[in-house]
């Protein structure tokens, strides 16, 4: 089986540029993009998150409708939890309504529009790769990453770990021979 080449992933600085542009334009779109880029959740998972899935006291978001009918907990930092909680409160969302009441097509269009800010053809699923690479660069092991991404197999997780030449050179230069 030949793996798709995904080494052209966005760097953190590019993600920050996209988020900065969204922050200037739309509170909802900014929050939605930030959750995609900073949690590694799939679009369909994010679109099913309801206020009752958010546990501010535990800094956790429960993904109750993950791929394959699975469930998992996504840990968030205090800033993301506060951002989500304030958004839900400001919108006075009922506990059983999605936080981001959008269709996948709408999310795809939003992501593409903000991707054009940095001159990239970006898709919603594109957010999972930079998230995974960022986690590995910061010391995460592949098993934990597998669990956070909601993969049933390590083989699936390894698809997200195609490093670009700069990463490989950096790791090589740090290795004592």
Is 1 part of any domain? Answer: no
**Global pTM value:** 0.79
More confident residue, 22 or 164: 22
- With respect to residue 6, please indicate whether it lies within any of the assigned structural domains: no
Rounded to 5 degrees, φ, ψ at 17 are -65, -45
Please tell me the total count of domains within the chain: 1
Compute φ and ψ for 174, nearest 5 degrees: -85, -15
Helix (H, G, I), strand (E, B) or coil at 24: helix
What does the pLDDT look like over 39-63, one tens digit per residue? 888 899 999 999 999 999 999 999 9
State the pLDDT confidence band at 4, using cuts at 50, 70 and 90. low
The two tokens of residue 147 are 């669990």
Two tokens, residue 53? 């899935």
What are the backbone dihedrals phi and psi of residue 72, each rounded to the nearest 5 degrees, phi first? -160, 165
CATH of the domain at 121: 1.10.443.10
Helices (H) and strands (E) in the chain, counts: 9, 3
CA–chain centroid gap for 97, Å, is 21
Structural domain contains residue 49: yes
Which tens digits make up the pLDDT trace of 111-145? Answer: 999 989 888 888 877 778 888 888 888 888 888 88
């Amino acid at each position: 089986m030949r793996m798709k080449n995904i080494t052209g992933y966005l760097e953190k600085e590019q993600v920050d540029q996209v988020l900065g542009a969204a922050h200037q334009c739309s509170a909802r779109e900014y929050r939605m993009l930030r959750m995609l880029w900073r949690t590694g959740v799939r679009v369909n998972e994010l679109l099913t998150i309801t206020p009752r899935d958010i546990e501010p006291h535990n800094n956790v978001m429960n993904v109750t409708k993950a791929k394959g009918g699975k469930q998992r907990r996504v840990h968030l930092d205090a800033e993301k939890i506060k951002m989500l909680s304030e958004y839900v409160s400001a919108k006075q969302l009922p506990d059983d309504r999605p936080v981001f009441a959008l269709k996948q097509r709408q999310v795809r269009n939003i992501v593409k529009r903000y991707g054009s800010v940095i001159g990239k053809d970006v898709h919603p699923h594109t957010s999972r790769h930079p998230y995974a690479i960022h986690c590995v660069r910061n010391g995460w092991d592949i098993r934990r990453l597998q669990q956070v991404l909601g993969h049933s197999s390590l083989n699936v997780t390894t698809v997200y770990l195609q490093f670009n030449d700069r990463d490989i050179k950096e790791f090589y230069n740090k290795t004592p021979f």
